[in-house]
Amino acid sequence: MSAEPVLSVRDLHVWYGTEDRPVRAVDGISLEMRAGETLGLVGESGSGKSTLGRAIIGLLPEGAATRGEVVLRGQNLLGLDEAELRSIRGPELGLIFQEPMTRLDPLVTIESHFLEVLHTHEPGMEEDEMRSRARETLAGMGIPPTRFKQYPHEFSGGMRQRIMIALALVLNPKVLIADEPTTALDVIVEAQILRILADLRRNFDTALLLITHNLGIVAEACDRVAVMYAGEIAEEGEAAEVFAEPAHPYTRELLRSIISLSTTGLHYIPGPPPDLVDPPPACRFHPRCPNAMRVCADKHPIEVELGGRAGLDGPAHRVSCWLHGPESEIGAGAEQPLERVEFAIADES
């Protein structure tokens, strides 16, 4: 794994305009990715994971505002116009969308999907070579060449997802963003897709940002993990270290919510995720946090580095939480527990 980042996200903010006030979907995030590395991005729905992925590749909806830097090989992508971004998408940056059936045009064949991508990004390539490369990429996904001229509705959900992955890989991108690539797939197809992504990293030195709710996938497939809550990074570090010794209460609560063969009762985090139009002051997790203190409601937590495993290049284990904050910043009496708010669960029976 290279020591130099191939992609750097620096103090990135993304807002969505509303009739009331802007939605602060991504609020000051910084991340780095290296060639050959898989970074898992986890968090509850609405935490801003997909917005972060789309901001990196420049596919935000009209009306979204951004600030900060997304640096790919020394170039800030946020300063480019649409034509320049189009030339980078595909060869440099790839995206695997959720719900492949909604992304594949039902009126054209799989062959036409691949030819359009290759015509756009490699117009000098002969059409026979385009077909050959497309078939080779599909074969790597386990889809036989005999199905090249079929339509999307003639494939199963798992095969359509593999086609979407193949479309992202046919140009050999340096950075690939996979947004819930195994959603709604059975565990056998899920395992096949994870093997394909692992082969991609091993064979092409591709950096992979894996956006998912599935912590089991992160534990199996990722080198590092970033835990996102309410538009911010709560904790980031080597996946094995974060899973073994989670430093942020939110990370601990997520891990406690995992169901295993030994599970005897369901665990959940009380209360809903915050409204990003008007998020809680200071630490955004404090209204739901079992370890909240007075300082958590008064001051935004300072990011603290907890170190990292010896011999590893890249960012250390870091966390934004007053449980690990500098004592000089907390102040006298601030360590007192904050009064908890009990969330009632309505009985719909």
Q: What is the pLDDT of residues 181-194, one digit of tens each?
A: 877 677 887 887 78
**How long a stretch of residues is the chain?**
349
Span of 48-57, 78-87, 186-195 with lowest mean pLDDT = 186-195
Residues near 92 by beta carbon (within 8 Å), at least 6 away in sequence: 72, 73, 173, 174, 175
pLDDT at residue number 265: 84
Residues near 175 by beta carbon (within 8 Å), at least 6 away in sequence: 6, 7, 33, 56, 72, 92, 93, 94, 206, 207, 208, 209
If pLDDT is split at 50, 70 and 90, which confidence band does 80 have? Answer: very high
Question: Is the pLDDT at 242 greater than 90, yes or no?
Answer: yes
Q: What is the pLDDT of residues 289-299, one digit of tens each?
A: 999 999 999 99
The CATH superfamily holding the domain 5-92+173-250 is P-loop containing nucleotide triphosphate hydrolases (3.40.50.300)
Span of 64-78, 186-200, 307-321 with lowest mean pLDDT = 307-321
Span of 49-58, 256-265, 273-282 with lowest mean pLDDT = 256-265
Question: Is the pLDDT at 333 greater than 60, yes or no?
Answer: no
Residue 326 tokens read as: 């500098």
pLDDT at residue number 155: 92
Of 65 and 329, which is predicted with more confidence?
65
Question: Is the pLDDT at 237 greater than 50, yes or no?
Answer: yes
Q: For a pLDDT cut of 90, what percent of the chain falls above it?
A: 56
Starting at the earlier edge strand, list the strands of the sheet with 23-34: 23-34, 5-16, 65-72, 75-76
Span of 18-32, 104-118, 306-320 with lowest mean pLDDT = 306-320
Residues near 329 by beta carbon (within 8 Å), at least 6 away in sequence: 299, 302
- Range 64-71 average pLDDT: 96
Q: What is the pLDDT of residues 152-168, one digit of tens each?
A: 999 988 888 889 888 98
pTM (2 d.p.): 0.88
Cβ proximity of 9 and 69 under 8 Å? yes
- Range 55-67 average pLDDT: 92
pLDDT at residue number 262: 83
pLDDT at residue number 342: 46
Question: Is the pLDDT at 102 greater than 80, yes or no?
Answer: no
Question: Is the pLDDT at 195 greater than 60, yes or no?
Answer: yes
- Range 45-52 average pLDDT: 93
- Range 344-348 average pLDDT: 41
Dist CA 200 CA 185 (whole Å): 20
